[in-house]
């Protein structure tokens, strides 16, 4: 995928974008919630991050893993996306099994975790109440996601974790002029759009995992399909 970031906010790099991102207060409801939510998790003694959570990993990688938003005591606590909660435990353990991460756990910003050939981020950078960002909040935050995507000059595959992440990428594609009619989230399904392959996988939330909606085997199978697709692009 060849992108340009010319219609972005004028950032010159992801680092520059992130410097602005972590100070963002554009969504009053989410700013309030991200600060209040720490009070509900008294068992953690450390100070919560309680700010927008930047993406993480290899921005020059070929795979984008796209989640919904930081979790209250995960990314919102630790300051790193998919870090320090049960969704992260499941996700990173599976990513490690297929070789995308160097270790099977994601606990804190200084735990040495590395992503290989992949970058992970969320559609909305602040934790929303009940995991449900409002449409206006998603639209407002899309400028950051747009810049992340357009910075991935080698992008070949996007893994949408759940329907909201899927919708966020679909909206990005629409903004870039793609015809997205007929594209619906369905676990295991994939679409070609804007020269990349968009894969749908259920979000690895405790609810999906505990109810058996998402099994480890099914998730790993999905990740392997992504890796096979990306490898095939080299041939």
Binding residues for ligand SF4 (CB under 6 A): 21, 24-27, 30-31, 52, 124-126, 137, 140-141
Please, what is the minimum distance in Å from the beta carbon of residue 126 to ligand SF4?
A: 3
Kindly tell me which of 25 and 232 has the beta carbon lying closer to ligand SF4: 25
Kindly tell me which of 73 and 126 has the beta carbon lying closer to ligand SF4: 126
Kindly tell me which of 17 and 226 has the beta carbon lying closer to ligand SF4: 17
Measure the CA–CA gap between 38 and 41, rounded to whole angstroms.
5
Please, what is the minimum distance in Å from the beta carbon of residue 104 to ligand SF4?
A: 29
| Contact call for residues 91 and 84 (beta carbons, < 8 A) | no
Please, what is the minimum distance in Å from the beta carbon of residue 3 to ligand SF4?
A: 21
| Contact call for residues 168 and 145 (beta carbons, < 8 A) | yes
| Contact call for residues 146 and 160 (beta carbons, < 8 A) | no
CA distances to 87, 88, 124 from 107, rounded to whole Å, are 11, 8, 21
Please, what is the minimum distance in Å from the beta carbon of residue 102 to ligand SF4?
A: 28
Kindly tell me which of 138 and 209 has the beta carbon lying closer to ligand SF4: 138
């Amino acid at each position: 995928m060849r992108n340009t970031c010319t219609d972005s906010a004028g950032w010159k790099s992801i680092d520059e974008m992130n410097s602005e991102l972590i100070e963002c207060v554009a969504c009053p409801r989410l700013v309030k919630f991200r600060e209040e939510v720490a009070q509900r998790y008294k068992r953690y003694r450390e100070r919560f991050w309680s700010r927008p959570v930047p993406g993480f990993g290899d921005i020059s990688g070929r795979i984008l893993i796209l989640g919904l938003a930081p979790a209250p005591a995960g990314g919102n606590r630790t300051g790193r996306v998919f870090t320090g909660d049960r969704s992260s435990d499941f996700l990173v353990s599976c990513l490690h099994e297929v070789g995308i991460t160097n270790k099977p756990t994601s606990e804190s910003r200084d735990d040495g975790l590395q992503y290989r050939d992949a970058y992970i981020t969320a559609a909305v950078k602040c934790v929303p109440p009940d995991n449900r960002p409002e449409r206006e909040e998603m639209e407002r935050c899309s400028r950051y996601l747009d810049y992340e995507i357009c910075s991935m000059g080698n992008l070949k595959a996007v893994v949408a974790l759940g329907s909201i992440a899927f919708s966020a990428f679909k909206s990005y594609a629409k903004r870039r002029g793609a015809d997205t009619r007929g594209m619906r989230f369905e676990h295991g399904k994939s679409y070609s759009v804007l020269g990349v392959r968009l894969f749908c996988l259920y979000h690895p939330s405790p609810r999906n995992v505990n109810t058996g909606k998402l099994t480890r085997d099914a998730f790993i199978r999905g990740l392997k399909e992504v890796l096979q697709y990306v490898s095939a692009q080299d041939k």
